[in-house]
Amino acid sequence: MDPVRNPYAPGAGTPPPELAGRDELRETVRIAIARSRRGLHAKSVLMVGLRGVGKTVLLDRMRDDAEAEGVATMRIEAPESRSLPALLAPQLRMVLIRLSRNELAKDLARRALRGLAGFVKALRVKYDDIEVTLDVDPEPGLADNGDLELDLQSLMEAVGAAAQSADTAVAMFIDELQYVEEDELAALITALHRTAQRQLPVVLVGAGLPQLRGRMGDAKSYAERLFDFPEIMPLPPEAATVAIAKPARAEGVEFEPAALERIVEETQGYPYFLQEWGKHVWDVADRSPITMHDVEVASEAAVAALDESFFRVRFDRLTPSEKTYLRAMAQLGPGPHRSGDIADVLERKVTSLGPTRSNLIAKGMIWSPSHGDTAFTVPLFDQFMHRIMPGDEWRQ
């Protein structure tokens, strides 16, 4: 069929043609932001889930929803190598400039900008990756102590007051939140706690790997009372079917029921994989309806594409010992697995593998569902490890 009309969109954070099965969570976030805007109690929302479940896409759609309601938003992706102050400062600057254009909020927004100038100046020595420049003078005593926890709290109070005077809210959308350092997470939690106590309209909508829940609790013990942690799961069969069938139907193309069932089975309902299979099935098929044979032929190409992009980009970041550790996990199956069982496969002591395991957790490759357990953060990665490291040579 015509590749130009192919509706599917595999890619990191690329919006799918049909965002199926996520309406309830989008509504939950919409209500939280709307309540905060009114000065009512609302918990911030931190979505957790494995790679490929569509957290980034969902986060961006939620931001679009908020912008459509006139909410002042900021969008951050937290890489492993950047500090939280460096990520927040330029985004807060843009939000405050926007608020300063509101006649009711301009004085408080300009004060918050002066606070941001002091914040940047005081913290630039410690966080030398802060690059934003501001053309306003700091306000002495406002967010300029050089202590991140104290200063971020004061700054967010000033930001929240400006938003409140403009009859709006500030919604921070932060992706890959698990990479933020613990002391920086603690400062962010403290700031949000303070704005909540003062009923200021500041909300965090974040996304991260499953270990984010534990990291937030480690940073501040009361974090569980400030946030909801919805788990983003693979789509159920009904929603996965809609995600594949509806975009094709919009182009006048149908699927045989068995072909749809096979795609859902192969992808296990993971949204990223659904898009990959949809793309390759479309390119393979000659005509409508798309058949089981088309899916079987396309599956080989879909797996190869995932190996070269989705899986390989993560595999290539690993050291040899980390690859061996993951291959031992794969030997045991999808998981989760006990640390002792992995050590047995490697014929090593559990304690000797502790640093390797910790590095893999830090890199976002594995997580611990419960004490002593280890699981992949990337779906179907066990199958990839068998393909990329076949046989038994890896044991050597």
List beta partners, residue 228.
45
Taking all residues of the chain, what is their mean pLDDT, rounded to a whole number? 94
**Pair 221, 40: CB distance under 8 Å:** no
13 has pLDDT over 80? no
| 31/44 Cα distance (integer angstroms) | 11
Top-tier CATH class for 319-395: mainly alpha
How does pLDDT run across 88-98, given as a tens digit for each residue? 999 999 999 99
Q: How many CB atoms lie within 10 A of CB 251?
A: 14
Q: How many CB atoms lie within 10 A of CB 267?
A: 26
Which CATH code, of 1.10.260.40, 3.30.70.260, 3.30.360.10, 3.40.50.300, is assigned to 23-228? Answer: 3.40.50.300
How does pLDDT run across 14-73, given as a tens digit for each residue? 888 889 999 999 999 999 999 999 999 999 999 999 999 999 999 999 999 999 999 999
Q: Report residue 7: phi and psi, to 5°.
A: -85, -10
Whether pTM exceeds 0.85: yes
How does pLDDT run across 335-394, given as a tens digit for each residue? 899 999 999 999 999 999 999 999 999 999 999 998 889 999 999 999 999 999 998 888
Residues of the chain above pLDDT 90, percent = 90
Listed by start position, the domains of the chain span 23-228, 238-314, 319-395
Buried b or exposed e, range 111-144, using 16+ CB within 10 angstroms: bbbbbbbbbbbbbbeebeebebebeeebbeebbb
Question: What's the CATH architecture for 238-314?
Answer: Orthogonal Bundle (1.10)
| 284/9 Cα distance (integer angstroms) | 16
